[in-house]
Amino acid sequence: MGKDVIIACDFASAQATYDFLDKFTGKKPYVKIGMELFYAEGPAIVRELKARGHKIFLDLKLHDIPNTVKKSMAVLSHLDVDMCNLHAGGTIAMMEAALEGLTRPDGTRPLLIAVTQLTSTSEERMKTDLLINEPIDKVVMHYAANAKKAGLDGVVCSPLEAGKVHDVCGKEFLTVTPGVRFAGGDVGDQSRITTPEGAKAIGSDYIVVGRPITAAADPVAAYERCVAEFVG
Ligand code: C5P
């Protein structure tokens, strides 16, 4: 599986997204569409970016009863995205149903990855709010193993967890990692971070990079730096 840099297009409108991507003349970066943009613009934004030649990670983090997730995944599969995701907390049955819904009649399907515990959830909150009395590391690896058992392709995780996920679930199991910053760059609200080079060394398969590219004075140069450091 080829390593790639995915740009988190955390914009509020289609126009802002097009204005940003128009800077990349001749290049078609892999992009992530999240809830904000999808809820604002609907499936049209996916179709338009696909028509423009971008690969798309649709980050909608589904979590519902298996039947609902299965039917919703079938819709996303018709949208022809390249990668989509769900919460591993929905259980193995939900993940299996999702995979079934996502698989097209010809057997092809987008990559399906699972969110384990959100990186915004601390071990303390997991214990007090969710009543999960285990070390968070153990919970993350258990959820990753569940995702693998259900037949999924990988997980979203911190780049610092990517090596351990590969140890537990195998090298082919994908790690998609946000929390990437350039050395000496603005950290913002991220905490467990590393550089593109660091993510490469730990073994991330895809890095998801937002503000270090979208807020850069020269986004194209920032993207190229990311690719050079991560893909090599
Ligand atoms: O701007 P920044 O590089 O921090 O963007 C990271 C992207 O990855 C954002 O779209 C954020 O919502 C997403 N993300 C994350 N941590 C997770 C899951 C998703 O930062 N655990």
Separation CA 215–CA 168 (nearest Å): 35
Among the listed residues 172, 166, 158, 173, the one whose alpha carbon sits nearest the alpha carbon of residue 208: 158
Residue 204 one-letter amino acid: S
Per-residue pLDDT tens digits for 35-57: 999 999 999 999 999 999 999 99
Cβ(98)–Cβ(91) under 8 Å? Answer: no
Other CB atoms within 10 Å distance of the CB of residue 39:
9
Q: Whose CA is nearest to atom 21 of ligand 1?
A: 119
Separation CA 23–CA 144 (nearest Å): 37
Looking at residue 113, which CATH number applies to its domain?
3.20.20.70
β-pair partners for 113: 85, 154
Cβ(220)–Cβ(28) under 8 Å? Answer: no
Phi, psi dihedrals of residue 175, rounded to the nearest 5° = -115, 120
Among the listed residues 211, 221, 167, the one whose alpha carbon sits nearest the alpha carbon of residue 7: 211
Identify the pLDDT of residue 124. Answer: 92
DSSP 184: T
pTM reported for the whole predicted model:
0.95
Identify the pLDDT of residue 26. Answer: 87
Residue 91 one-letter amino acid: T
Lookup result for tokens 């740009």:
7
Higher pLDDT, 11 or 187: 11
Binding-site residues, ligand 1, Cβ < 6 A:
8, 10, 34, 118-119, 156, 178-179, 188, 190, 208-212
Per-residue pLDDT tens digits for 145-171: 999 999 999 999 988 899 999 999 999
Q: How far is the CA of 208 from the centre of ligand 1 (A)?
A: 7
- Tokens for 12? 């509020």
Other CB atoms within 10 Å distance of the CB of residue 215:
12
**With bands split at pLDDT 50, 70 and 90, how would you rate the model's confidence at 1?**
low
Cβ(63)–Cβ(89) under 8 Å? Answer: yes
Mean pLDDT of 214-229: 97
Q: How far is the CA of 86 from the centre of ligand 1 (A)?
A: 15
Pairing of strands 83-87, 206-209: unpaired
Does the annotation mark 127 as catalytic? no
Task: Report long-range pairs for 124-132 (Cβ below 8 Å, ≥24 apart).
Answer: none
Task: Provide the residue range defining the domain that includes 175.
Answer: 4-230
Q: How far is the CA of 7 from the centre of ligand 1 (A)?
A: 10
Per-residue pLDDT tens digits for 171-199: 999 999 999 999 988 888 777 789 999 99
Of 3, 50, 61, 127, which residue is the catalytic one? Answer: 61
Domains held by the chain: number: 1
Phi, psi dihedrals of residue 24, rounded to the nearest 5° = -90, 65
Mean pLDDT of 68-88: 96
Q: Whose CA is nearest to atom 10 of ligand 1?
A: 8
